[in-house]
Amino acid sequence: MFKQFFITSLLLVTSFTLLASGSENAVPNEETPYHLMGEYDGKGMSVVWTVNEWPAGLEKMVIKKKSASTGNQWVTLTKTPLLPGFKEDKALDNVTDNADFLEEMKQYQKNAFEKDPKGLSSLTNEELMKAVGENPKMIFWVNLSILAEYKFALMTGFGFKEIDPKKEVITYGLFPVINGKEATTPIFTKEFDLNAKLKDEPVIVSKKTEKGLGGEGVKIDVTYEASSLPEHFSLFNVYRTEEGSNEKVKANKNLMAISTKLAEGETNLKLTFKDKEIDNTKKYKYEFIITSLFGNDAKPFTVDYIPAAQ
């Protein structure tokens, strides 16, 4: 049930914004299973926390920040500790500091439950804790979902949305609650310079190949430099335009995922897309848009499909 629900929960994310630069500093050592990702879009700061293996005794998470304006003292952002898991009537006032966005989240929660009550019932805190207690690596399936839809991450206790933060260098920290006790020092921190120029850089594509599938559509492979995008840009949409037409058609039904884990010594990432809804005798232009888990788009790039006979 977990596997089926999480794999099928990749939802469409839209909107175009730009990125802030960030540097991370793992505390107390680089072997921590905790991780925090974030993006600043000029209006708000979005953060998500994950673990690659569930730590023993981890029950909840507190997110704090510090900066020059706080006297470099930690200030708690989450009104109450974040409780991992879904509940139909779960209070969400600890996932944002903004009343309008809180109302958005309440509506999102309501719509999500109405759409898939059976699936979400498998993600209660009790069920989640039981699953990761029996197998700490089960969190992998949770990560598939929270890294695909930011509001889903917030709804299930894995993030915080700060609206209109002061433009300065801000450090966000994770303070886990383990066996009922909140950590007094952060287990993981990440720094963002909200004064930094917002980035709008192209994806650096090193190789593009397209191959007709014998009348069964086309397969497109794209290799690009991993360093040209932050690692949380792990999703993409594809649009196609037939030669001679101005109509742009969305070619993928659901948001597609990219594995952003690099093997040792590798510097490039690869995405693959198959389109069976075309006439192999015609020419098409495909537009790829890689997007982040926070719904921010990188600059698009294109791949042309030309039938072999032409």
Structural domain count of the chain:
2
Residue ending a domain, choose from 193, 227, 256 = 193
Flag whether 199 is in a domain. no
Boundaries of domain holding 257: 205-305
Flag whether 124 is in a domain. yes
**CA–CA separation, 83 vs 97, rounded Å?**
17
Query: 213 and 91 in one domain?
Result: no
Sequence-distant (6+) residues with CB within 8 A of 55 are 33, 34, 136, 176, 178
Query: 147 and 13 in one domain?
Result: yes
Reported as a single tens digit per residue, the pLDDT across 130-147 is 988 888 888 877 777 677
Q: Which two tokens stand for residue 237?
A: 């949409």
Flag whether 198 is in a domain. no
Residue ending a domain, choose from 138, 170, 193 = 193
Query: 168 and 258 in one domain?
Result: no
Residue ending a domain, choose from 144, 168, 193 = 193
Query: 88 and 22 in one domain?
Result: yes
Distance from the Cα of residue 222 to its chain's centroid: 21
Query: 132 and 24 in one domain?
Result: yes
Distance from the Cα of residue 224 to its chain's centroid: 19
Q: State whether the Cα torsion 286-310-221-273 is positive or negative.
A: positive
**CA–CA separation, 203 vs 227, rounded Å?**
9
- 3-state SS, the chain, equals CHHHHHHCCCCCCCCCCCECEEEEEECCCCCCCEEEEEEECCCEEEEEEEECCCCCCEEEEEEEEEEHHHCCCCEECCCCCECCCCCCCCCCCCCECCHHHHHHHHHHHHHHHHHCHHHHHCCCHHHHHHHHHHCHHHHHHHHHHHCCCHHHHHHCCCEEEEECCCCCEEEEEEEEEECCEECCCCCEEEEEECCCCCECCCCCEEEEEEEECCCCCEEEEEEEEHHHCCCCCCEEEEEEEECCCCCCEECCCCCEECCCCCCCCCCEEEEEEEECCCCCCCCEEEEEEEECCCCCECCCEEEEECCCCC
Flag whether 243 is in a domain. yes
Flag whether 139 is in a domain. yes
**CA–CA separation, 251 vs 279, rounded Å?**
13
Flag whether 200 is in a domain. no
Q: Under a CB-based contact definition with an 8 Å cutoff, are residues 202 and 208 in contact?
A: no
**CA–CA separation, 100 vs 173, rounded Å?**
25
Query: 25 and 162 in one domain?
Result: yes
Query: 241 and 119 in one domain?
Result: no
Flag whether 310 is in a domain. no
pLDDT of residue 199: 64
Query: 91 and 23 in one domain?
Result: yes
Q: How many residues are recorded in the chain?
A: 310
Q: Under a CB-based contact definition with an 8 Å cutoff, are residues 282 and 270 in contact?
A: no
Query: 176 and 153 in one domain?
Result: yes
310 residues of the chain, pLDDT tens digit each: 333 333 333 332 222 233 343 444 444 445 789 999 999 988 899 999 999 899 999 999 999 999 999 999 999 999 999 999 999 899 999 999 999 999 999 999 999 999 988 888 878 999 989 988 888 888 877 777 677 789 999 999 999 999 999 999 999 999 999 999 999 999 999 999 998 876 667 899 999 988 888 778 999 999 999 999 887 888 899 999 999 999 999 999 888 888 877 888 899 999 999 999 999 899 999 999 999 888 888 999 999 999 876 5
Query: 253 and 130 in one domain?
Result: no
Torsion of the alpha carbons at 178, 181, 185 and 187, rounded to the nearest 10 = 10
Query: 57 and 144 in one domain?
Result: yes
Distance from the Cα of residue 12 to its chain's centroid: 12
**CATH assignment of the domain containing 251:** 2.60.40
- Residue where the block lists tokens 């196609």: 240
Flag whether 240 is in a domain. yes
Query: 245 and 157 in one domain?
Result: no
Reported as a single tens digit per residue, the pLDDT across 207-218 is 998 888 877 899
